[in-house]
């Protein structure tokens, strides 16, 4: 028996273990292929017979993926109750049988000394439960200022889009394009921020209760949402709750009155005495690499950071999102930079959104490996940047050979349970990265397609100005 060369591994945690409803998805990894693998499972307190032997069922595991000398096996088992114990029975190539439990790899052991893996009592809200409609859903990203103004003219062709200029896109213009979008096969639209702001990208929110007047009024928005729903389509809003804009009234109150302000603790301030002495023109310089006397987003000092550990801030921001969801029938939220937002906020957000719409879909903008975030059950899925980077480096920039691409895809697959794949947000470009066809040396229209579990077409790709082609469709 040569156990060491198999390097058998499993952990009772995501992504090795994923519970969805009454189904538990299990995965294990070995260094080399086994002759067979099975799992014995049941309720930890369910016994039978005078000797009180545990009642266990057996399911055979199937090879799911081979990656760089590693073999992954997976199986999905039903949970008769809300708890689960399990251990693996593995047959090596030489015919010997070993167990895998919390004790590690051992010879077959009696139940009296075996320490099985466990799934604790499963409450509905403790594990990912994406809405059924979100599986494989195809989203169309719209950068509102750059899409359509609703007029017969087709917009300006005389200047290149930048972070500062405006092209005049409106909500009415988007509404007028819904038949076209539906004809494309799009199932829903994702809008970059639409709340009142000072910039064309609108990630510097001045008021969460107002629509940016450049885009139109609340009647225009209501018509947009109703028209989408009548067409059998859905809408997703961009929730920017990590930071706000410089002119947000709560931040101005904190800046001017320091610790005397009701809102001082709503932000992450280092030195109250310096707040009122820092001029705004310095704050708008994105090249600033030294933080001002408060925390902000990405050294962008004109976007002060909310203190999302503060219960008052949580109540304020979550209530705003709840109001929009209830009043307008919002179907989904994309949360901006949620890895800088408190876990307490994220739990409160998803819980409240589900309370007003049981089928709401919440996705997080996580650029790195998102296993930890998915394990926390605060998102129904994440923007799949590891998959995007693999596709970009192979298919767009041609910096990776096929072998490297295959390796990265297998690694991506192994890091994410199959059950989550249909709800991940796969994409080929968006507003934060260059357009796919620009990277390929081509040309594309100003939109992004996103799909749960399926790479979509190219996106806005840094709508602040990475391309000079027409950016406003009429």
- CATH number, position 24: 2.60.40.10
**Which segment of 63-77, 192-206, 244-258 scores lowest on mean pLDDT?**
63-77
pLDDT at 472 over 80: no
**Which of 123, 147, 168 is the endpoint of a domain?**
123
Does some domain include residue 466?
A: no
Does some domain include residue 373?
A: yes
Tell me what pLDDT residue 5 has: 65
Higher pLDDT, 465 or 77: 77
Tell me what pLDDT residue 450 has: 59
Higher pLDDT, 20 or 346: 346
Task: Calculate the CA 217 to chain-centre distance.
Answer: 29
Out of 365, 384, 400, 444, pick the active-site residue: 365
- The answer to whether residues 9 and 108 belong to one domain is yes
Q: Residue 435: which of 401, 464, 394, 405 has the closest Cα?
A: 464
Tell me what pLDDT residue 415 has: 81
Q: Residue 34 forms beta bridges with which residues?
A: none
**Which of 77, 102, 123 is the endpoint of a domain?**
123
* Residue 145: other Cβ atoms inside 10 A: 25
Alpha-carbon gap, residue 117 to 318, rounded angstroms: 37
- Cα angle for residues 287, 288, 289 (degrees, 5° grid): 105
Supply φ then ψ for residue 278, to 5 degrees: -100, 115
- The answer to whether residues 313 and 412 belong to one domain is yes
Q: Residue 452 forms beta bridges with which residues?
A: 425
- Sheet of 138-142: strand order equals 381-382, 361-364, 332-335, 234-239, 188-191, 138-142, 448-452, 425-427
- The answer to whether residues 237 and 279 belong to one domain is no
Token digits of residue 82: 């809300």
Alpha-carbon gap, residue 270 to 357, rounded angstroms: 39
Residues 6+ apart with CB under 8 A from 397: 439
Does some domain include residue 463?
A: no
Supply φ then ψ for residue 43, to 5 degrees: -70, 135
* Residues across the chain: 474
**Which segment of 114-128, 329-343, 346-360, 451-465 scores lowest on mean pLDDT?**
451-465
CATH number where 150 lies? 3.20.20.80
The overall average pLDDT reported for the chain is: 85
Active site residue 183: no
Higher pLDDT, 344 or 438: 344
pLDDT at 361 over 50: yes
Query: How confident is residue 98, by pLDDT bands cut at 50, 70 and 90?
Result: very high
- The answer to whether residues 290 and 335 belong to one domain is no
Domain containing residue 398: 132-242+308-452
- Once rounded to an integer, what is the mean pLDDT over residues 414-425? 85
State how beta strands 361-364 and 332-335 pair.
parallel
**Which of 304, 325, 343 is the endpoint of a domain?**
304
Active site residue 340: no
Q: Residue 361: which of 339, 380, 338 has the closest Cα?
A: 380
Q: Residue 438: which of 465, 405, 400, 456 has the closest Cα?
A: 465
- The answer to whether residues 173 and 117 belong to one domain is no
Tell me what pLDDT residue 2 has: 59
Higher pLDDT, 290 or 308: 308
pLDDT at 294 over 70: yes
- The answer to whether residues 35 and 76 belong to one domain is yes
Tell me the whole-structure pTM to 2 decimals. Answer: 0.86
**Which segment of 81-90, 158-167, 332-341 scores lowest on mean pLDDT?**
158-167
pLDDT at 468 over 90: no
- The answer to whether residues 108 and 140 belong to one domain is no
Does some domain include residue 107?
A: yes
Out of 238, 331, 336, 444, pick the active-site residue: 336
How far from each other are the two terminal CA atoms of the chain, in whole angstroms?
Answer: 71
**Which segment of 25-29, 125-129, 234-238, 397-401 scores lowest on mean pLDDT?**
125-129
- The answer to whether residues 97 and 209 belong to one domain is no
Q: Which residue has the tokens 């209530």?
A: 319
Alpha-carbon gap, residue 84 to 168, rounded angstroms: 57
Query: How confident is residue 445, by pLDDT bands cut at 50, 70 and 90?
Result: very low
- The answer to whether residues 368 and 438 belong to one domain is yes
Tell me what pLDDT residue 3 has: 59
Does some domain include residue 205?
A: yes
- The answer to whether residues 319 and 207 belong to one domain is yes
Tell me what pLDDT residue 299 has: 80
Our count of domains for the chain comes to: 3
- The answer to whether residues 273 and 340 belong to one domain is no
Does some domain include residue 461?
A: no
**Which segment of 8-22, 174-188, 243-257, 322-336 scores lowest on mean pLDDT?**
8-22
Residues 6+ apart with CB under 8 A from 392: 428, 433, 436, 439
Does some domain include residue 163?
A: yes
Q: Residue 188: which of 354, 436, 361 has the closest Cα?
A: 361
Does some domain include residue 9?
A: yes
| 134-185 pLDDT per residue, tens | 998 999 999 999 899 877 655 455 567 777 788 889 999 999 999 999 999 9
- The answer to whether residues 228 and 368 belong to one domain is yes
Whether the CB-CB separation of 452 and 190 falls below 8 Å is answered with no
């Amino acid at each position: 028996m040569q156990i060491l060369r198999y390097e058998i591994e499993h952990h009772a945690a995501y992504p090795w273990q994923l519970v969805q409803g009454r189904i538990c998805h299990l995965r294990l990894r070995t260094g080399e292929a086994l002759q067979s693998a099975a799992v014995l499972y049941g309720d930890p307190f369910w016994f039978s017979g005078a000797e009180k032997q545990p009642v266990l069922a057996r399911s055979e595991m199937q090879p799911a993926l081979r990656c760089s000398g590693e073999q992954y096996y997976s199986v999905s088992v039903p949970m008769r109750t809300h708890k689960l114990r399990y251990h693996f029975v593995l047959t090596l190539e030489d015919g010997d049988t070993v167990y895998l439990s919390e004790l590690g790899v051992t010879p077959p052991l009696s139940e009296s000394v075996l320490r099985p893996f466990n799934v604790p009592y499963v409450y509905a809200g403790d594990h990912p439960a994406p809405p059924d409609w979100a599986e494989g859903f195809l989203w169309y990203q719209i950068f509102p200022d750059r899409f359509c103004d609703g007029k017969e003219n087709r917009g300006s062709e005389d200047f290149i889009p930048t972070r500062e200029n405006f092209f005049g896109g409106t909500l009415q213009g988007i509404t007028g394009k819904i038949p076209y979008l539906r004809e494309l096969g799009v199932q829903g639209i994702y809008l970059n921020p639409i709340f009142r702001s000072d910039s064309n990208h609108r990630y510097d929110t001045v008021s969460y209760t107002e629509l940016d007047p450049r885009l139109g009024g609340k009647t225009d928005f209501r018509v947009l949402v109703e028209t989408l729903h009548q067409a059998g389509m859905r809408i997703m809003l961009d929730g920017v709750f990590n930071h706000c804009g410089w002119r947000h009234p709560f931040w101005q109150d904190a800046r001017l009155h320091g610790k005397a302000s009701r809102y001082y603790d709503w932000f992450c301030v280092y030195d109250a005495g310096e707040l009122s002495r820092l001029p705004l023109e310095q704050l708008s310089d994105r090249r600033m690499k030294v933080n001002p006397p408060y925390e902000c987003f990405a050294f962008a000092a004109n976007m002060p950071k909310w203190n999302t550990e503060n219960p008052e801030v949580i109540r304020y921001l979550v209530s705003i999102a709840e109001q929009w969801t209830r009043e307008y029938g919002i179907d989904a939220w994309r949360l901006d930079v949620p890895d800088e937002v408190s876990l307490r906020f994220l739990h409160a957000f998803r819980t409240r959104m589900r309370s007003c719409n049981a089928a709401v879909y919440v996705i997080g903008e996580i650029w790195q490996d998102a296993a930890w975030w998915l394990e926390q059950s605060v998102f129904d899925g994440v923007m799949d940047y590891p998959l995007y980077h693999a596709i970009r480096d192979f298919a767009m920039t041609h910096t990776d050979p096929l072998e490297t691409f295959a390796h990265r895809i297998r690694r991506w697959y192994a890091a994410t349970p199959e059950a989550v794949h249909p709800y991940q947000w796969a994409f080929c470009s968006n507003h934060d990265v260059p357009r796919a066809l620009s990277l390929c040396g081509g040309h594309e229209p100003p939109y992004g397609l996103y799909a749960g579990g399926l790479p979509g077409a190219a996106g806005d790709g840094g709508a602040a100005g990475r391309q000079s082609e027409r950016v406003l469709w009429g």
